[in-house]
Amino acid sequence: MNFDFNDEQKMLKQGARDFFEKECPKSLVRQMAADEKGNPPELWKKMAQLGWLGLIYPEQYGGGGGNMIDLVALEEEMGRACLPGAFFSTVLLGGLFILNAGNEEQKKELLPKIGKGELILTLALTEVSGGYEASAVETSAVSEKEDYVISGTKLYVPDAHIADYIICLARTKKGARPEEGITAFLVDRKSTGITCTLLKTIAGDKLCEVIFNKVKVSRKNIVGQLDQAWGPLEQTLRQVTVARCAEMVGGAQKVLEMSADHTKQRIVFDRPLGSFPVIQHYIANMIMDIDGSKFLTYEAAWRLSEGMSCAKEVAMAKAWTSEAYRRVTANGHEIYGGIGFTVESDMHLYFRRAKAAEVTLGDANYQRKVLAKELRK
């Protein structure tokens, strides 16, 4: 099995690394963490010009026609750079759902705008329980003439405060199974009845509480089929989860490099820090965690690209990588000592991102439950 990147993907990866080192310094990361909007407009525009906002979409919708391996190559560099902004919410959560579920008119209208950087989109799924199961969707949408009226509260919705549209998953009927009767609606964020509140987060990423108070949405704004949104949503979540794993791999790799450099430069008792066995063990553990994360992420991405079943592989990748990234950053802090927790150090930026990514799209325990369910089939 060869999970290595091809020549074009290697060029994409190196080009992205060079670009982010220049255009996304850690000063910008810190600035965007403190900024209310959190999406740097100039950086967003330049990424659109490079074609990265449409990389994963078919050429017929103005995209680059890339596959999941291409996306993984790019996402690793985004994770390495601690990229701020709405790529995750717009290009992945929102855009991929439109691609998987939307009708031809919706794809032709929305995907090119995303690729050009003209549209901010997000997807509202999780609610009070924070769960990603269909049973957790309690927000309702009731038919009223030519409209639907949405009522409910969505939590942890990324970048909802700056989004042009929110794709809201709501229950339109009660079926025999929780997966039945869920519909996706494309909702203008400025619609009457929407209240959006920015939440305080550990990583400075922009998650929101979005309250839908009898929000009217036209039937034509249904994305996909009435009552049948869960199938396309599952496909979207698998793709987005693999992309998030790749982002974590990139971040972990950067932490390893920073830590290894520190062990060579830091002198303790007239010896390089890296000469102590305990420090060598930390580095060894980091390498094993990263290699395991790469293998599982690349395999899941390859299976997605080939159109193969991959629910087990995606669950394994997220379960392992979620915990591995956190362990890698924790080992990095052990190596750096107290200085790693200072504002001037970049180490805490990665640790915070690791903690945030750990629970996004389901933590390791949730993914183990998914894996156990798949193994029973």
Whose tokens are 């091809």? That residue is 6
Measured over the CA atoms of residue 246, residue 251, residue 255 and residue 257, the dihedral's sign is positive
Distance CA 366, CA 109 (A): 35
One domain, residues 257 and 358: yes
3-state secondary structure of 167: strand
One domain, residues 179 and 166: yes
Range of the domain at 370: 231-375
One domain, residues 111 and 134: no
Q: What does the pLDDT look like over 319-373, one tens digit per residue?
A: 999 999 999 999 999 999 988 888 889 999 999 999 999 999 999 999 999 999 9
DSSP assignment of 260-291: HHHHHH-EETTEEGGGSHHHHHHHHHHHHHHH
Q: What does the pLDDT look like over 349-361, one tens digit per residue?
A: 999 999 999 999 9
| Token duo for residue 224 | 């996909």
- Choose among 80, 28, 24, 78: nearest CA to 350: 80
One domain, residues 205 and 286: no
Distance CA 191, CA 217 (A): 9
- Domain membership of residue 2 (yes or no) is no
| Backbone φ/ψ region at 174: left (φ over 0), alpha (ψ -120 to 50), beta | beta
Q: What is the mean pLDDT of the chain?
A: 96
Last residue within a domain, chosen from 103, 119, 135: 119
Per-residue DSSP letter, 177: S
One domain, residues 236 and 327: yes
- Domain membership of residue 1 (yes or no) is no
Residue 149 and residue 215 in contact, taking contact as beta carbons nearer than 8 Å: yes
Last residue within a domain, chosen from 95, 119, 143: 119
- Indicate the residue type of 169: L
- Domain membership of residue 52 (yes or no) is yes
- Once rounded to an integer, what is the mean pLDDT over residues 68-78? 98
CA–chain centroid gap for 157, Å, is: 12
**DSSP H/E element including 223:** strand 222-223
Q: What is the pTM of this model?
A: 0.96
Residue 112 and residue 119 in contact, taking contact as beta carbons nearer than 8 Å: no
- Domain membership of residue 16 (yes or no) is yes
One domain, residues 113 and 223: no
227 falls in which pLDDT band (50, 70, 90)? very high
120 falls in which pLDDT band (50, 70, 90)? very high
Q: Is the pLDDT of residue 156 over 80?
A: yes
- Domain membership of residue 252 (yes or no) is yes
Last residue within a domain, chosen from 119, 136, 169: 119
Distance CA 120, CA 39 (A): 10
8 falls in which pLDDT band (50, 70, 90)? very high
One domain, residues 88 and 222: no
Q: How many separate domains does the chain show?
A: 3
One domain, residues 321 and 262: yes
One domain, residues 135 and 189: yes
**Domain harbouring 283, CATH code:** 1.20.140.10
| pLDDT score for 301 | 97
Per-residue DSSP letter, 306: T
| Backbone φ/ψ region at 310: left (φ over 0), alpha (ψ -120 to 50), beta | alpha
One domain, residues 317 and 265: yes
| Token duo for residue 358 | 């750990």
**Domain harbouring 31, CATH code:** 1.10.540.10
Whose tokens are 């049973």? That residue is 135
One domain, residues 110 and 187: no
Distance CA 56, CA 76 (A): 15
